[in-house]
Structure 1
Amino acid sequence: MSKVELTNMCMIYDKLNNKVLVQNRIKSWKGISFPGGHIEDGESIVESTIREIREETGLTVYNLEACGVIYWYNDETKEKYFVFNFRTENFSGDLIENTIEGNVFWVDKDNLQELALADGFKERLPMFFENKYSEGFGVWNEHTLSKLRLL
């Protein structure tokens, strides 16, 4: 049986100030991206996203809007890796700037692409900012990584 890994990611948007919350990841998939994490066994996708955001940022998010799924397929091992993507403008709480996952900070939405983004994160951004994509699909193996196609 092939391995399936389920994860989540959420763009938190401060519309009033035109800022998004980012995390400079230091443990895995290093670089700047939106916060998120793994879906635990027996946990719903939305509830896992709310939990991960609270753990990694100190904020409580609500009224999550689904904005697409990233699906990576390993054509050698048959592993599957899914990222369920969400966005929200609804949050409360006090920001924790330093966590074991990396620093968390607000950045102007228009300057996001100028930062040291995690590998492949730039290609995912249209899913969060445009309402026309449902899926990102890519193939990887030990030797190659295909470009992510947004569908």
Structure 2
Amino acid sequence: MSESVNYKFWTVCLVQNGDYVLLLNRQHDNFKGYIPPGGKVEFPESFTEAAIREVKEETGLEVSDLIYKGLYEYVNPEKNDRYMIFNYITKCFSGTLLEDTHEGKPVWVNKNEIPNLSMQGSIRRRFPLFFEDGTFEIQVEWDNEKNQEGEVTIKKT
């Protein structure tokens, strides 16, 4: 008999305006640095609905016409955990940008500046894939002993 797996779902939605992307300058807890808007999927909403809601909550912008770009997941065999992050991009948005939110200050950043920004490795790893044709799937096996990422597998279609 197999043990049950603990699934957790998140979304990320990169909002693009020409050569600029909308990021949050997050400066709290363990996730400091620049990150795209996103967050947990609330049951029973769809992944796309969650991405739209999270962008609105974290930036004030209404987004539409999201394009699915890929899956980023962490698996932890020792704890039977699987964390799945569904990634989207859009160029369709309206509204007024919030000054600041609990997740960080929303800022438009030129894509060319991304290599110079403080950013989590997981976001930096997938960032260029948002702008390539096709989709991606990245699986990261979590190393419990070292409390860090272990083996990383990247597939593009």
Q: Same fold (TM over 0.5)?
A: yes
* Partner AA of 1:95 in structure 2: L
Q: Measure how far apart 1:27 and its partner are.
A: 4.2
Separation in 1 of the partners of 2:40 and 2:99?
A: 20
| Percent identity of equivalent pairs | 34
Separation in 1 of the partners of 2:20 and 2:65?
A: 18
The structure-2 alpha-carbon separation of the partners of 1:147 and 1:129, relative to structure 1 and needing over 3 Å to count, comes to: farther
Residue 120 of structure 1: aligned partner: 122
Larger radius of gyration: 2
Question: Which has the larger displacement, 19-28 or 4-13?
Answer: 19-28
Residue number among 79, 83, 105 corresponding to 1:77 in the alignment? 79
Q: Measure how far apart 1:43 and its partner are.
A: 0.5
Residue 21 of structure 1: aligned partner: 22
Q: Does 1:146 align with 2:150?
A: yes
**Secondary structure of the corresponding residue to residue 79 of structure 2:** coil
**Secondary structure of the corresponding residue to residue 146 of structure 1:** strand
Residue 136 of structure 2: aligned partner: 134
Separation in 1 of the partners of 2:46 and 2:21?
A: 25
**How many residue pairs align between the two structures?**
149
**Secondary structure of the corresponding residue to residue 121 of structure 2:** coil
List runs of 5+ in structure 1 lacking aligned partners.
none
The structure-2 alpha-carbon separation of the partners of 1:147 and 1:133, relative to structure 1 and needing over 3 Å to count, comes to: farther
List runs of 5+ in structure 2 lacking aligned partners.
none
- With normalisation by structure 1, the TM-score equals 0.92
Residue number among 11, 14, 33 corresponding to 1:11 in the alignment? 14
* Partner AA of 2:60 in structure 1: G
Pairwise CA RMSD of aligned residues?
Answer: 1.4
Residue 45 of structure 1: aligned partner: 47
Q: Measure how far apart 1:34 and its partner are.
A: 0.7
Separation in 1 of the partners of 2:129 and 2:65?
A: 18
- Deviating above 6 A after TM superposition, structure 1's stretches of 4 or more consecutive aligned residues are none
Q: Measure how far apart 1:28 and its partner are.
A: 4.9
